[in-house]
Amino acid sequence: MTDFPDATGSHDDPGGGRNAASSRPPVQDESVQLSVGIDIGSASTQVVFSRVHLQRLTEEPTGRSFVVGHEPVYQSPVVLTPYLSEERIDAQAIGRLIDEAHQVADIDPDTIDNGAVILTGEAQRGDNAVAIADALRERCSRFLWVPAGHQMEAMLAAYGSGAAEASRRCGAPVLNIDIGGSTVKLALVHDGNILHTATMAVGGRLAVLDGAACLTRLDPAGERLAALAGCTWSVGKTVREHDVERVTACMADAVVTVLTQNPAPPQIRRL
């Protein structure tokens, strides 16, 4: 498990805190922009369209604008990220998913003001990132591309899930747990601020089975988890349903152990 103890930050707080409203400069102008967010991860992919409300809080024409609200327009279903092989993402299929989202939402791509493509897990690695960039070049050339590392993933999950805002409203610490394809990300937030993040190699795509229950892909972390569960797994081996249940139970127990034991046992901290 990897800790990031200095992961501090707040989400779009133009005044530097809740009690700094009196020091904020007057609002100079407001605007509404149509935005799209594309999240491509190891296990799943989703497209979200929103109308984002911006305010510019400075007299300078080039001054920074802040997000003060947003209205969801359309969220595509969360779909399994398509793969060409055990490790190679099907970038062309990703492009078709984005096109379908535009069609269902009845949104012309030319009307999009801004957007972001967030790549996590397998999607940000080597050939996958290049293939996705090539496939989406015409669709997303003006967008912000973000290859999100573990710490950024944890922070984005805390903001996107509403955990940061919930901690602000209730005035108490909130722990956000994000379970992905290759890792679990933890983010401790209080009063809207992220105090601490951590990640551990537990996820839904560390081992891949075909229709005959044969292992076609096994991440090193998946192999370690199988060993903790008392199973010896390797690519090409057929596994029993009972062993799959043992390994997934071990994964769940590892997450619970990290949350409830301090310090966690060495074999868990190595994940």
CA dihedral 39, 126, 244, 235 (to 10 degrees): 160
Round to whole Å and give the CA distance between 228 and 269. 13
Q: How many CB atoms lie within 10 A of CB 98?
A: 21
Q: Where are the alpha helices (DSSP H) in the chain?
A: 91-105, 126-140, 150-161, 163-170, 220-228, 241-260, 266-269
Q: Left, alpha or beta for 55 (phi > 0: left; psi -120 to 50: alpha)?
A: beta
State the pLDDT at residue 25. Answer: 54
State the pLDDT at residue 29. Answer: 78
Joined tokens for residue 119: 């790549």
State the pLDDT at residue 22. Answer: 45
Question: Before 266, cis peptide (omega within 30)?
Answer: no
State the pLDDT at residue 142. Answer: 81
pLDDT in tens, the chain (271 residues): 666 555 555 554 444 444 444 445 555 678 899 999 999 988 889 999 999 998 877 666 666 778 888 899 999 999 989 988 878 899 999 999 999 999 999 999 999 999 999 998 888 888 899 999 988 888 887 888 888 888 888 998 999 889 999 999 999 999 999 988 889 999 999 999 999 999 999 988 889 888 899 998 888 889 999 999 999 999 999 999 999 999 999 999 999 999 998 888 888 888 8
Round to whole Å and give the CA distance between 245 and 237. 16
Round to whole Å and give the CA distance between 224 and 271. 8
Round to whole Å and give the CA distance between 32 and 114. 11
DSSP 83: B
Q: Is this structure's pTM higher than 0.85?
A: no
Sign of CA dihedral 225, 227, 230, 235: positive
Q: Left, alpha or beta for 136 (phi > 0: left; psi -120 to 50: alpha)?
A: alpha
Q: Which residues of 258-267 are buried (b: 16+ CB within 10 A; e: fewer)?
A: beeeeebeee
Going by C-alpha positions, the residue among 35, 105, 50 that lies closest to residue 76 is 105
Round to whole Å and give the CA distance between 253 and 260. 10
Round to whole Å and give the CA distance between 221 and 182. 9
Sign of CA dihedral 262, 191, 181, 116: negative
Joined tokens for residue 78: 């969360």
